[in-house]
Chains A and B, each alone.
Chain A
Amino acid sequence: MNSVQGAAPTSDLTSASYHDDHLLHRLYALQQQFQHIPASSIGALAAELCLPLAQVEAVIDFYSFFHRTARGRVDLLFSNCTSCGDLSLMHDLCQRLGVVPEQTRADGAVSIGEASCIGMCDQGPALLANGRTLTQLTPLRLEQIAERIEASTPIEQWPAEWFHVHDNVRKNGLLLGTTFSTGSALVAALEKGAQTMLDEIIASGLRGRGGAGFSTGMKWKFCREATGDAHYVVCNADEGEPGTFKDRILLSSHAHAVFEGMTLCGYVIGAKKGYMYLRGEYRYMLPELLAVLERRRKLKLLGTAILGQSDFDFEIEIIVGAGAYICGEESALIESMEQKGGVPRVRPPFPVTQGFLAQPTVVNNVETLAAAAHIAVHGGGWFNAHGSDKSDGSKILSVSGDCTTPGVYEYPFGTSIQRILDDCGAEHVQAIQVGGPSGTLIAPAEFERKLAFEDLATGGSFMIYGAQRDLLHVIQNFAHFFAHESCGFCTPCRVGTTLLKNGVDKIATGHGTQYDVDELRRMAALVKRRSHCGLGQTAPNPILDLLQRFPQAFEDRLVHSDFEPHFDLDKSLQEARRLTHRDDAEAHL
């Protein structure tokens, strides 16, 4: 793709690795300039990008960060994650500024709303201000923000330190503790050759760090063996699972290892092009990532004739998402790369044979690729000397919630949960959500369980809930998350996640009966088993886990009658009472 300049605004970021003619990038630029996507711009944009109008319309409506009506000149999105969100702060600010959530203030100066986890769980509460990350919010900071909004101070002039994001690495391990010398993995690869390097990756036992845990070496092998016009490498940097932020650190402080892992994969599978799909919430890292790529180009580690090898060409391009958790699912991610909504594909075929542009494609998590780069240098034996039986190497965790030192911790697989709790200063722990909302909720009786694919698997999220937390409220948050993030393609998840959300809401607000619990259980089973992709297949987990491990959390809230309607009849009569100016006993049920 070449950059095309057109009527619509383009960003000044255009580089060899960030193309303005990608629909998501163009819509981002429009949203920034006009606070929405003007209806009048859509036709020209579709024509210019040679896309059907309906495709552009569909994409605008799919992603959370694009809007049909103008948001405020300052648009604040508070994370609603249980770790990096604090909606009470949001409501306070709304009151202070006279804003109704999700509605732009009449003067157009400000709008305030919610966003799913923005990956700042170690330094929350956090929000996005016109897409830029603000962390460690306090009432004082919100006061300062309010003053600047009322004074019409543009965000660019807000103090730079407000936007600072810390790494918070608390414990180094195999990957974070080993210095990666830029270029070393590619030098090793050229010495050994593609086949030997592939064998090394297979022998290392490396399994995908994005959640599913598929053998990385086998994935590369299948892709290498697949025929196509071109092969592609995709780095999945969508990191949307609430409570996960470990890829953020790899991208901010270990980007060379990540890009080198991509290039290595390209060398092994015979790809000339790689893409990093970066979640929109991490856009603040884009300039630095592009700068790293530029440095790599200068070092002959990217571009044509890498390290002087005439037949080794590899380019990397970054595509930035726009607020959709489902785009972390590999086939939805590919759809998004192809300028569509993120709807998971039917499988088979799998991406290794038919991925991006229907060509063989490897999709790997950020951490997987960084690990592969290290393995290329140090060998598979170095890697699998660590870990447990079935899980080789180490896992980088994002620890957040009720503990004294939230942050990034790296452990060999096989480490016990209790050890992690001790390290991060977590006491009086009631429960831990391992692997994020799509993972497993565990109770104290299970804290001797191990971090491993064969025991407690996690893509990196580790959210701790102390004794004072209302677990039903936590699970309610997750139910809302999944209903919000369901792509809507298949019936069980599209309708089911909303039914689950409504069911949990009913119980949490004190209107649920045993019947509602039974219904919840039945719907949870259906959604889990019959949904099209991993989102629907895991969305009911928190509810089922809570029912199994903390049944009391539900029972305490139940109304002890056989049936309660979903609506409150007396409340519904409120309007009639108001109109008739009555409030006597007869006007109530």
Chain B
Amino acid sequence: MSKTIKIDGVDVPFEDGQTIMDAALAADIYIPHLCHKPGLSPHGSCKLCTVDVDGRAVSSCTMPASEGQQIANNTPALKEVRKTIIQMLFIEGNHLCPSCEKTGDCTLQALAYHHDMLDGHFPQFYPRRNVDASHPTLIIDRDRCILCELCVRASREVDGKNVFAIAGRGIKRQLIVNSPSGKLADSDIETEDLASHICPVGAILIKDHGYEVPIGRRTFDLHSIAETDLEQVILKKTVHHDA
């Protein structure tokens, strides 16, 4: 008999060492997530995957599954919490979706659709952030960075490099590049690296590829985030919709 947890009343088997997120994805249950990506070490920063375990709020991407946990995931209250967190991510940065090359392929935007988010709700912070266009094939637009550290982890854990880091404290946190000038051109990143492709939003983009897939036919114009994030696991594809 394998061990199980209960997610929204459904028994879900798990193995020791799996997180709640691992167990859920393996059972085709979608728990919204943004800073998590199977294959990279869990991070626990965006808090979109927050669930209530026996009444306590936990991040499902970092919390080990353990026998008998009663987990609330797809509830109206949690949907509202997650929608608010998504709105918070939108308003702390500068997201002008219609003019962003990532539109339709952006995980943040897709999560907003999924949670019926119609506006940013809160007053915009309008931070001043820098663009780094120094690299011949890549561009960083920090206005869109949501500090998920997927690029940081991809570079360290998969690419075997250490191109990115997050610096600063609080609302001033920002993505920096580990190079003498702080510019991407000065780093050892290459276009083929996972770190060049993993950004869930339009903060790291490949240059010279614009609007190849017309708006209206992009991933999230056709599929919901729940479908694509689960499919990736079912098909054991390594390529993500935003890769």
Contact = CB atoms under 8 A, between A and B. Distances in A.
Contact of A54 (B44, B91, B165, B170): B165
A217 interface: no
Contacts of A497: 170
A529 B169 contact: no
B50 interface: yes
Interface stretch (A235-243, A310-318, A462-470, A487-495): A487-495
A55 B171 contact: no
Interface stretch (A56-64, A101-109, A153-161, A550-558): A56-64
Sort A-B residue pairs by CB-CB distance and give the 10 closest, nearest first. A54-B178, A54-B165, A58-B167, A488-B173, A61-B168, A495-B88, A488-B170, A486-B170, A61-B167, A346-B62
Contacts of A587: none
Contact of B81 (A348, A502, A530): A530
B179 A492 contact: no
A341 interface: yes
Interface string B19-60: 000000000000000000000001111111010000001010
B85 A491 contact: yes
A348 B169 CA distance: 23
A53 B179 contact: yes
B176 A58 contact: yes
Interface string B108-124: 00000000000000110
A53 B178 contact: yes
Contact of A502 (B84, B123, B164): B123
A57 B64 contact: no
Contacts of B178: 52-54
17 contacts: A53-B178, A346-B44, A346-B59, A485-B169, A485-B170, A486-B169, A488-B168, A488-B169, A488-B171, A489-B173, A490-B44, A491-B89, A492-B85, A526-B81, A526-B84, A529-B57, A530-B50
Given A53-B179, A346-B62, A491-B89, A62 B47 contact: no
B180 interface: yes
A498 B89 CA distance: 12
Given A57-B176, A486-B169, A532-B45, 5 more contacts: A54-B178, A58-B168, A488-B170, A492-B88, A495-B89
- The residue among A63, A487, A494, A532 with the most chain B CB atoms within 10 A of its own CB is A494
Interface residues of B, number: 40
Contacts of A485: 169-170
- The residue among B45, B125, B182 with the most chain A CB atoms within 10 A of its own CB is B45
Nearest to A64: B169
Given A62-B168, A346-B62, A502-B123, A494 B85 contact: no
B47 A490 contact: yes
B176 A54 contact: yes
Nearest to B171: A498
A335 to B, nearest CB: 12
A485 B170 CA distance: 7
Nearest to B173: A488
Interface string A531-567: 1100000000000000000000000000000000010
B22 to A, nearest CB: 14
A348 B162 CA distance: 26
A374 B215 CA distance: 71
Interface of B: 42-48, 50, 57, 59, 62, 64, 81, 84-85, 88-89, 91-92, 122-123, 125, 147, 162, 164-173, 176-180, 182
Given A348-B64, A488-B173, A498 B125 contact: yes
Interface in A497-512: 497-499, 502
Nearest to B91: A495
Given A43-B180, A54-B162, A348-B64, A490 B167 contact: no
Given A491-B85, A495-B92, A499-B122, A58 B165 contact: yes
A116 to B, nearest CB: 12
A523 B172 CA distance: 20
A483 interface: yes
B171 A52 contact: no
Nearest to A525: B81
Nearest to A528: B57
A346 B92 CA distance: 24
Given A52-B162, A53-B179, A54-B167, A490 B42 contact: no
Given A52-B165, A490-B45, A530 B170 contact: no
Contacts of A61: 167-169, 172
Nearest to B93: A495
A532 B169 contact: no
Contacts of B147: 488, 494
Nearest to A519: B122
Contacts of A489: 45, 173
A483 B166 CA distance: 18
Contacts of A484: 170
A324 interface: yes
Nearest to A341: B169
Contacts of A58: 165-168, 176
A62 B173 CA distance: 8
Interface string A512-523: 000000000011
Contacts of A355: none
A62 B165 CA distance: 12
Contacts of A274: none
A330 B110 CA distance: 36
A58 B178 CA distance: 10
B57 A494 contact: no
A57 B179 CA distance: 10
